[in-house]
């Protein structure tokens, strides 16, 4: 069984994807980490994240790099968003994600284009969202030292970049269930996510 979870930054998609993976005993891949690894690799090479060839040259990183806590930083998120618009980067990371999705028994993947590009055949798809204001507040509460206004501006810039790019833009797949977590606690959002997945599984049976 493949479960695709997509959505914008700080929507709660990562938390929901991890909870779904635990609930259904499936392996989980946070695909954002792959783009973060590429973005950080480009920076480490002293290269330009907006240059497609420079970004493509950083795509062959070892899996061990995904454990680097530095990848979780906001700087790495912004670099990820810049390299992720390049078609060569998306193509280089495609097989890795598809192989994970199609492993025996299935998997949960979260990202921006899982339901639309990586696993359009997924058995269940969620599009997790929340208002930009709430998402910025969450990041603020997560202990980021930057002021709320700056975090909000960064989230809005990332939304525009991710939704506006021509290759695999962030958008809800036609057959994805929408889950707005703006006014939900984590527990309530997870319960709702499981209910939506169950509904889709029943429908597809
Ligand atoms: O957790 P957060 O949403 O802040 O970031 P992330 O999921 O780690 O993604 C970081 C950036 O990688 C996003 O802003 C996207 O530009 C890019 N990304 C993508 O293009 N496609 C994916 N499947 C996952 C991430």
Q: Which residues line ligand 1 (CB under 6 A)?
A: 9-10, 14, 31-32, 35-36, 77, 80-81, 84, 111-113, 158, 162
Q: Is residue 204 part of a domain?
A: no
User: What separation in Å is there between the alpha carbon of 205 and the centre of ligand 1?
Assistant: 31
> Considering its fold, how many domains does the chain have in total?
1
Q: Is residue 152 part of a domain?
A: yes
Instruction: Give the pLDDT score at 143.
Output: 73
- Please choose, from the candidates 148, 105, 138, the residue with its C-alpha nearest in 3D space to the C-alpha of residue 123: 105
The residue to mutate among 40, 80, 162, having the most atoms of ligand 1 within 8 angstroms of its beta carbon, is 80
Please report, for the domain that includes residue 77, its CATH number: 3.40.50.300
* pTM of the predicted model over 0.85: yes
Distance between CA atoms of 7 and 24, rounded to whole angstroms? 21
Q: Is residue 96 part of a domain?
A: yes
Please give the chain's pLDDT, 205 residues, in tens: 999 999 999 999 999 999 999 999 999 999 999 999 999 999 999 999 999 999 999 999 998 999 999 999 889 999 999 999 999 999 999 999 999 999 999 999 999 999 999 999 999 999 999 999 999 999 898 876 789 999 999 999 989 988 988 888 899 999 999 999 999 999 999 999 999 999 999 998 7
Q: Which residue has the tokens 């958008």?
A: 171
Q: Is residue 69 part of a domain?
A: yes
Distance between CA atoms of 202 and 196, rounded to whole angstroms? 10
Which residues form the domain of 67? Answer: 2-199
């Amino acid at each position: 069984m493949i479960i695709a979870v997509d959505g914008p930054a700080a929507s709660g998609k990562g938390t929901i994807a991890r909870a779904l993976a635990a609930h259904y005993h499936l392996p989980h891949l946070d695909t954002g980490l792959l783009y973060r690894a590429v973005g950080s690799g480009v920076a480490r090479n002293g290269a330009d994240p907006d240059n497609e060839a420079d970004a493509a040259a950083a795509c062959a990183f070892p899996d061990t790099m995904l454990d680097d806590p530095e990848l979780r930083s906001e700087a790495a998120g912004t670099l990820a968003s810049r390299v992720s618009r390049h078609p060569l980067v998306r193509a280089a990371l495609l097989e890795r994600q598809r192989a994970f999705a199609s492993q025996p028994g299935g998997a949960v993947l979260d990202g921006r284009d899982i339901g639309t590009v990586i696993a359009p055949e997924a058995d269940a798809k969620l599009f997790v969202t929340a208002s930009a204001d709430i998402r910025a507040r969450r990041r603020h509460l997560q202990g980021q030292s930057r002021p709320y206004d700056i975090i909000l501006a960064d989230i809005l810039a990332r939304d525009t970049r991710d939704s506006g790019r021509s290759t695999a833009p962030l958008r809800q797949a036609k057959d994805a269930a929408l889950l707005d977590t703006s006014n939900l606690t984590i527990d309530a959002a997870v319960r709702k996510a499981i209910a939506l997945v169950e509904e889709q599984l029943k429908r597809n049976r």
